[in-house]
Structure 1
Amino acid sequence: MKVNELQPRKNATVTVKVVNKGEAKQVMSKDGSSHKVADVLVGDETGSILFSVWDDNIDNVSEGDVIDVTDGYVTVVRGSMRLTLGRQGKMEKTDKTIDNVNTENNLSNKQVEDNYRPRRFNSRRF
């Protein structure tokens, strides 16, 4: 799969090059635990996207690295697509090469309609 083929709320297996690594920020999860997250601009010759990298994985990514993301997931954050590892995803450095990254086609800069609503189950008993 190529970056320009990524779709909101879909699984993603893609090889990307790290263009820019942002500073890690502390965030609180819904359960009150503290985590670090960094936005990393990644891409290939077809486009680029922000990759949200969490906790220990932040130190495993450097500018210029080429990484394989397997079973990742494309989320939508405030109308912007982001690549993430999700629950099942994995990432690892690879010897593959990507010479040019198309940062002009940044999928995270495009507004995306997000009509997704989590399914709520009715807890009433009949």
Structure 2
Amino acid sequence: MKVSELKPRASATVTVKVVKLGEPKQVTNKDGSLHKVSDVLVGDETGSILMSLWDENISKVNENDVIEVNNGYVSVVRGSMRLTLGREGKMEKSSQNIENVNTEKNLSDQKIEDSGYRGGYRRSFNRRY
């Protein structure tokens, strides 16, 4: 899959090059636990997207690394698409080479309507069994 093919709220397996590392920020989870998150600009020749890295994953990448994201997820954060590992995703360095990254087509710059639906099963309580 190429970056330009990523869709909101969909799983993603993609190989990308790290273009720019963002400064880690400390955030408080709903349960009160503290975490670090960093937005990292990644992409390929078809486009780019911000990837949210959490906690120990932040230190696993450097600028110009090429990484494979397997079973990742495209979330919508404040109307903006973000690539994330999600619960089932994995990230590892790749031996592939990506020369040029298309930063002009940044998918995170597109405004996405966020319906609030977070995936999984949508339950219908009016259904009769």
Letter in 2 for 1:27: V
Query: Offset at 1:120?
Result: 7.4
Query: Offset at 1:117?
Result: 3.0
Query: Offset at 1:113?
Result: 1.2
| SS in structure 2 of the partner of residue 50 of structure 1 | strand
> Following the alignment from structure 1 to structure 2, what is the Cα–Cα distance between the partners of residues 116 and 55?
25
> What is the aligned partner in structure 1 of residue 86 from structure 2?
86
Letter in 2 for 1:3: V
Structure 1 residues 120 and 26 mapped into 2: Cα distance closer, same or farther (>3 Å)?
farther
Equivalent pairs, count: 122
Which consecutive residues of structure 1, in runs of 5 or more, have no partner in the other structure? none
> Following the alignment from structure 1 to structure 2, what is the Cα–Cα distance between the partners of residues 19 and 73?
19
> Following the alignment from structure 1 to structure 2, what is the Cα–Cα distance between the partners of residues 23 and 78?
19
Query: Offset at 1:64?
Result: 0.3
| SS in structure 2 of the partner of residue 59 of structure 1 | helix
> Following the alignment from structure 2 to structure 1, what is the Cα–Cα distance between the partners of residues 41 and 33?
26
> What is the aligned partner in structure 2 of residue 67 from structure 1?
67
Query: Offset at 1:68?
Result: 0.1
Tell me the alpha carbon deviations over residues 72-118 of structure 1, each in whole angstroms, 9 at most, x when there is no partner: 00000010000000000000001100000000000000101122335
> Following the alignment from structure 2 to structure 1, what is the Cα–Cα distance between the partners of residues 124 and 56?
34
Tell me the alpha carbon deviations over residues 41-86 of structure 1, each in whole angstroms, 9 at most, x when there is no partner: 0000000000000000100010000000000000000100000000
> Following the alignment from structure 1 to structure 2, what is the Cα–Cα distance between the partners of residues 63 and 39?
13
> Following the alignment from structure 1 to structure 2, what is the Cα–Cα distance between the partners of residues 115 and 21?
29
- What does 1:1-126 align with in structure 2 at a 5 Å threshold? 1-117=1-117
Q: Percent identity?
A: 68
| SS in structure 2 of the partner of residue 96 of structure 1 | coil
> Following the alignment from structure 1 to structure 2, what is the Cα–Cα distance between the partners of residues 84 and 25?
16
Q: TM-score scaled by structure 2?
A: 0.90
